[in-house]
Amino acid sequence: MLKKKKKEDSENTEDINGTLDGAGQEIDEQAAENAPSPVDTLKEELSLANDKYLRLYAEFDNFRRRTIKEREEARKLEGKDVIVSLLPVLDDFERALKAMETAADIAPVKEGVTLIQNKLKNALAQKGLKEMESIGSPFDPELQEAITNIPAPTDDLKGKVVDEMEKGYFLNDRVVRFAKVIVGA
């Protein structure tokens, strides 16, 4: 009887092991069926990469549009501070014109115009405009434009600026207008 029982136990154990092996194979097969194939994985990665690319492209496009708009606005308002600083000078010129209509003596009008000119020069100097000193200096074609040559009144004025037709100006140490000069020959 013991032998019989042992045989039955060993048969039961084999059946259980066989059943477990079969169940393990079924689980492996189901897992393999449910697991994404390499192609599906790559397709998913591609769609994620495309989505990321589109978002990045849209963000860059928005940045580009925003910077273009900001530049346009800055260009429209870049001279605003200069214009605002010149408005008081314009007001002074209007007052001078009114005063000239009723003025009997020319000296006060002349003095007023001189004051307005000084006010204009000061306003422009605050914005970085500086006059070029040309008369008596050696001719420099990088700063000056020679209109004509005349015989030098003295020998020390040969090759130097004798007279100035239009003043030259620097804006923050850069030439914004060349001086038009007459050079001694």
Higher pLDDT among residues 43 and 30, named by residue? 43
pTM for the whole thing?
Answer: 0.54
Please report whether residue 18 resides in a domain: no
What's the chain look like in SS3?
CHHHHHHHHHHHHHHHHHHHHHHHHHHHHHHHHHCCCHHHHHHHHHHHHHHHHHHHHHHHHHHHHHHHHHHHHHHHHCCHHHHHHHHHHHHHHHHHHHHHHHCCCHHHHHHHHHHHHHHHHHHHHHCCEEECCCCCCECCCCCEEEEEEECCCCHHHCCEEEEEEECCEEECCEEEECEEEEEEC
CATH classification of the domain holding 100: 3.90.20.20
> What domain range is 161 assigned to?
130-185
Looking at residue 50, what is its pLDDT? 94
Please report whether residue 26 resides in a domain: no
The model's confidence at residue 47, banded by pLDDT at 50, 70 and 90, is very high
Q: Is the pLDDT confidence value at 60 over 90?
A: yes
Please report whether residue 120 resides in a domain: yes
The model's confidence at residue 184, banded by pLDDT at 50, 70 and 90, is confident
Q: How many domains does the chain have?
A: 2
89 and 139, same structural domain? Answer: no
Average pLDDT of the residues in 147-170: 86
Please report whether residue 41 resides in a domain: no
Q: Is the pLDDT confidence value at 173 over 70?
A: yes
Higher pLDDT among residues 173 and 56, named by residue? 56
CATH classification of the domain holding 165: 2.30.22.10
Most confident range, picked from 50-64, 148-162, 167-181: 50-64
Domain stops at, among 82, 110, 127: 127
Domain stops at, among 127, 158, 177: 127
Please report whether residue 113 resides in a domain: yes
59 and 82, same structural domain? Answer: yes
Looking at residue 162, what is its pLDDT? 87
102 and 159, same structural domain? Answer: no
Average pLDDT value for the chain: 82
